[in-house]
């Protein structure tokens, strides 16, 4: 399953492992690391650079403590090597960002630094307490200063603490009380450091989870809003369009007619109307069924879309009747348009019950007279259409 899998619940996708303080789901953890990439790299580079600078600065105190001691140059060399490793890691952060984010590079830098420090215990001649305080500072830096993965930090710090304790026991002749003191300090430092590192890791992932849940909620709301807009648009479309043919319905025709009446009057343009009716449509329905009759109506609409000049407004007026408004077209031109529609309908076959049949229409054409109301215009067009049917169908009648 992927993060986009709708069957995977968010509580599963963003569940955090109590031991590692990381997401249980690998893809979620990978997405989290990618999301913090830039900030994590910048913060880690800065932390490594400062840690390297601090580590090198203590070469001065080593010099003061080890004046005349030939081992000083070994200690100085170890600090230079650790600093070089750290600076190389910081320099390579962008190019090796995956290893920076997954903790490999920070872990390498920390291991080099701790190893050098533990080795230095055997060389630098200071009291065990000074080394102990230095080790505590190193551990706190590992836990809270240099960004890293929680489990990496804990393992490295515990191994380093064990190594430091072992070297201290070997190199210094400590009493039982001193041993217990050093041990207690290491234990407390590791516990506090681990708690701080774990809290940081958990907080970052919980913040990411909260942001992801918020994004998911916003996306869901956006999808719901988009679906609502789609449904509203569909309802508006269905409210003024015919379901069978997809053209405007009777109500939409009356709205469009009022608008076109006003526009053509203002522009002093002619406005013609064609009323067409499919011939013998009831017989077609009775013989082949209503579904096949609908195919004929859709074929008529296709013919109109191919033949009618722009601009035009086509609507299903009722049953097998259609009306066409032609703004800017005078009566004679509208008659020619209607004749082309009639001829194309007669020519175009419609496949019904594996048989190609031809259908015809009868049409009446009128032009609106100045100030003429819509109902009067429709009545004249209807009379012209019925005159075409009375005179034999499959013809166009143009009424003055």
Active site residues: 320
Give the list of residues 6+ apart from residue 214 with CB closer than 8 angstroms, or none.
none
Q: What residues does 241 pair with on adjacent strands?
A: 248
CA distances to 166, 340, 346, 400 from 334, in Å: 106, 10, 18, 12
**How far is the C-alpha of 335 from the C-alpha of 396, rounded, in Å?**
7
Burial of 150 (0-12, 13-18, 19+ CB in 10 A): buried
Residue whose entry in the numeric block shows the structure tokens 């819509």 = 374
**How far is the C-alpha of 304 from the C-alpha of 348, rounded, in Å?**
12
Q: At what angle do helices 331-347 and 290-307 cross, to 10 degrees?
A: 130
Q: What is the torsional sign of CA 59, 62, 63, 66?
A: negative
Give the list of residues 6+ apart from residue 273 with CB closer than 8 angstroms, or none.
323, 324, 325, 326, 334, 365, 366, 367, 368, 377, 378, 381
Give the list of residues 6+ apart from residue 299 with CB closer than 8 angstroms, or none.
345, 348, 350, 359
Q: 116: which 2 tokens?
A: 């050098």
Burial of 67 (0-12, 13-18, 19+ CB in 10 A): exposed
**How far is the C-alpha of 15 from the C-alpha of 21, rounded, in Å?**
10
């Amino acid at each position: 399953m992927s993060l986009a899998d709708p069957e995977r619940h968010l509580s599963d996708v963003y569940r955090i492992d109590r031991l590692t303080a990381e997401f249980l789901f690998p893809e979620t953890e990978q997405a989290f690391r990618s999301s913090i990439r830039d900030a994590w790299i910048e913060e880690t580079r800065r932390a490594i650079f400062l840690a390297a600078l601090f580590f090198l600065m203590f070469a001065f105190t080593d010099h003061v403590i080890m004046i005349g001691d030939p081992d000083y140059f070994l200690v100085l060399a170890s600090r230079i090597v650790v600093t070089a490793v750290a600076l190389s890691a910081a320099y390579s952060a962008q190019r090796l960002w995956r290893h920076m984010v997954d903790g490999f590079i920070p872990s390498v830098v920390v291991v080099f630094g701790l190893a050098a420090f533990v080795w230095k215990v055997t060389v630098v001649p200071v009291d065990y307490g000074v080394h102990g305080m230095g080790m505590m500072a190193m551990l706190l830096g590992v836990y809270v200063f240099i960004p890293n993965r929680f489990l990496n930090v804990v393992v490295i710090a515990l191994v380093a603490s064990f190594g430091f304790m072992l070297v201290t026991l070997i190199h210094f002749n400590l009493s039982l009380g001193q041993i217990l003191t050093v041990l207690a300090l290491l234990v407390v430092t590791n516990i506090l450091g681990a708690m701080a590192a774990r809290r940081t890791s958990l907080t970052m992932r919980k913040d990411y989870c909260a942001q992801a849940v918020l994004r998911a909620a916003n996306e869901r709301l956006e999808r719901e809003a988009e679906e609502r807009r789609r449904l509203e648009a569909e309802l508006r479309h269905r409210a003024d369009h015919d379901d069978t043919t997809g053209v405007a319905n009777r109500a939409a025709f009356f709205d469009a007619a009022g608008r076109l009446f006003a526009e053509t009057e203002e522009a002093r343009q002619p406005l013609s109307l064609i009323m067409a009716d499919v011939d013998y449509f009831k017989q077609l329905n009775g013989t082949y069924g209503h579904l096949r009759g609908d195919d004929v109506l859709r074929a008529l609409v296709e013919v109109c879309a191919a033949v009618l000049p722009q601009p035009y407004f086509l609507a299903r007026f009722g049953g097998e009747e259609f009306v066409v408004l032609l703004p800017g077209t005078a009566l004679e031109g509208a008659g020619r348009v209607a004749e082309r529609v009639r001829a194309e309908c007669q020519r175009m076959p419609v496949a019904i019950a594996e048989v190609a049949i031809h259908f015809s229409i009868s049409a009446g054409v009128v032009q609106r007279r100045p100030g003429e109301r819509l109902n009067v215009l429709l009545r004249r067009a209807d009379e012209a259409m019925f005159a075409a049917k009375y005179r034999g169908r499959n013809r166009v009648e143009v009424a003055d």
